[in-house]
Chains A and B, each alone.
Chain A
Amino acid sequence: MKQFIRYVLSALLTISSIIFILVSTISSTILNEKYVLNKLEETNYYSNIYEAVKSNFENYIYQSGLDEKVLDDIVSQEKVKEDTKSIISHIYNGLEEQIDAETIKQNLNTNIENSLKNIKLSSTQKNAIETFVNTVTDEYTDTILHFGFEKDIYTVYHNISKYVELAKKIMLVSIAVCLILLVLITLKRVYRIFNFAAISSTATGIFLVIVKMVIASKINVEAISILNDAISLTLRNIASEILQNLMNYGCILIAVGIITIILANLIHNIKKYKKAYKKEQED
């Protein structure tokens, strides 16, 4: 009966460990604002998105009849970075994003005025210029925002975070309870505790490796392409790192598990041998 309970506890320990590792991985990566900001820096997101903004502006200049120079310095990479951080902060903290398109509008208007200072504009042309300026500034906001439903993402993120944190705590308690019960049941033979804990560790490791292999076989992470190159590159980087982490945790747990199983069984057999030898001597 005790042996059966040990196996049940070991199975529960495995399930708790798996959920704990998966949930911790999510909470320390995509649900972690600092991690995401680091990844954006690492993948040159700001400079890539800056290039995308400039390229999108160029699409409008070709049909505008204006000199390309009117786009010079209307937006800086620093501003792109600030606005992106504002959006990230909005998603993670619910703070109101502050994308100041007015500065761009002013810079563009100044450049256009300088470029056309010797030309007398008709009211139609003035209206066309105003529409052009508004279109360019809207284009900037669209390129930076991408989705336009940050509030929804924040709500989803907020709910997921709550459950993730709760799941982490529950799993930690579950792991602790399983280990304590294993100790209580197997108090006289400590090596057995290690053996059952090691079985859980190995099973958890195998599961993580399987998860990584299944995902990698079904999704070509390195080819993920969403919205634009800057976003795709960052997403690929984050997805690859999460999968690599799962693989690493899996391999470590398998190695630690197998070594512990060997040691625990070795200790058990040596003790058994010594006991038998002692009994033989006594007889």
Chain B
Amino acid sequence: MHKKIVVKTLKATIISIIVALCFTGAIVLSIYLFYGAKINETMAVVSKYAIEKERKQLPPTTITEDNVIENYPEYGTQYATIEIPRIDINLPLYYGDDLKLLKTGIGQSPLGYFPGEGGSIVLMGHNFVNMFRRFSELQKGDKITIKATYGEYTYNIYDMQIIKETETDKIPIQDEKEILMVYTCYPFNNIGYATHRYVVYAELEK
């Protein structure tokens, strides 16, 4: 008789749990039918902010014969070094213009093009003693070399200008000719907030 009680209890328990599962299933299904799209949309938006800590190894950057870059470097990474022999500069070149990056090297504006692509390349650096403090010593004809992971590019300086911080038209982005524009804050021994920039223009050596 006791066994009968146990079996009956067990049966009733299983039925009750199945009923509970049915309730849950019905609620989940209703929510999915009525709000499924909105929930998925919200999840997708939130998951954009969940960046994987382990970044996948990106394929190396290469350039084709038609000057097309394949696999651009990731923003914030060093992809080259910049050498300016006249003022003893040999610094890392980062893709990005974050202030954090500019603490340790030269930054490249994401608005411009990459060396070898045939357009405007905009680089910037602080006027620290170990960076561009000696920028005024540069002369027309001096060389700037960018040693990228996919190739080496040498540019000849053809002009220097002091511009206002707001004169962005003096650093034009175009894709007809490969022009390198490197700028730093001016005056070099500035005290306070620097409202001017010293820009060096260079063209790709043939």
Query: Interface of A with B (CB < 8 Å)?
Result: 7, 10-11, 14-15, 18, 56, 58-60, 62-66, 116, 119, 121, 125-135, 195, 198-200, 202-203, 206-207, 210, 215, 218-221, 223-226, 257-258, 261-262, 265-266, 268-270, 273
With A128-B190, A203-B24, A210-B28 already in contact, the answer to whether A59 and B9 are too (CB < 8 A) is no
Contacts of A206 in B (CB 8 A): 20-21, 24
Contact of B13 among A116, A203, A215, A262 (CB under 8 A): A262
B16 touches A261 (CB 8 A): yes
Contacts A130-B192, A206-B20, A223-B52 known; 12 new A-B pairs at CB < 8 A? A58-B103, A59-B102, A62-B128, A63-B194, A128-B190, A129-B191, A210-B24, A218-B43, A220-B47, A225-B50, A261-B13, A268-B12
Closest 10 CB pairs of A and B: A128-B192, A129-B192, A131-B193, A59-B99, A202-B20, A203-B23, A132-B193, A265-B12, A203-B20, A132-B192
Q: How far is it, in angstroms, between the C-alpha of A203 and the C-alpha of B126 when the chains are bound?
A: 62
Is B120 located at the chain interface by the 8 A CB criterion? no
Is B164 located at the chain interface by the 8 A CB criterion? no
A219 touches B47 (CB 8 A): yes
Contact of A135 among B8, B52, B193 (CB under 8 A): B193
Is B185 located at the chain interface by the 8 A CB criterion? yes
Query: Interface of B with A (CB < 8 Å)?
Result: 1, 4-5, 8-9, 12-13, 16-17, 19-21, 23-24, 26-28, 43, 46-47, 49-53, 99-100, 102-103, 126-128, 185, 189-195
**B51's closest neighbor in chain A, by CB?**
A225
Contact of B192 among A7, A64, A223 (CB under 8 A): A64
B191 touches A63 (CB 8 A): no
Contacts of B49 in A (CB 8 A): 224-226
B195 touches A128 (CB 8 A): yes
Minimal beta-carbon separation of B191 from chain A (angstroms): 5
Q: How far is it, in angstroms, between the C-alpha of A266 and the C-alpha of B103 when the chains are bound?
A: 73
Q: How far is it, in angstroms, between the C-alpha of A149 and the C-alpha of B53 when the chains are bound?
A: 30
The majority secondary structure among interface residues of chain A is: helix
Q: How far is it, in angstroms, between the C-alpha of A126 and the C-alpha of B190 when the chains are bound?
A: 11
With A219-B43, A223-B51, A265-B9 already in contact, the answer to whether A199 and B23 are too (CB < 8 A) is yes
B19 touches A7 (CB 8 A): yes
Contacts of B128 in A (CB 8 A): 62
- Among A133, A134, A219, A226, the one with the most B-chain Cβ atoms within 10 Å of its Cβ is A219
Would you mind naming 27 contact pairs between A and B with Cβ atoms under 8 Å apart?
A14-B27, A18-B27, A59-B99, A59-B100, A62-B126, A64-B193, A64-B194, A65-B190, A116-B191, A121-B191, A126-B192, A128-B191, A128-B192, A129-B191, A133-B192, A134-B193, A200-B20, A202-B17, A206-B21, A207-B27, A215-B43, A219-B43, A220-B47, A226-B49, A261-B16, A265-B8, A266-B5
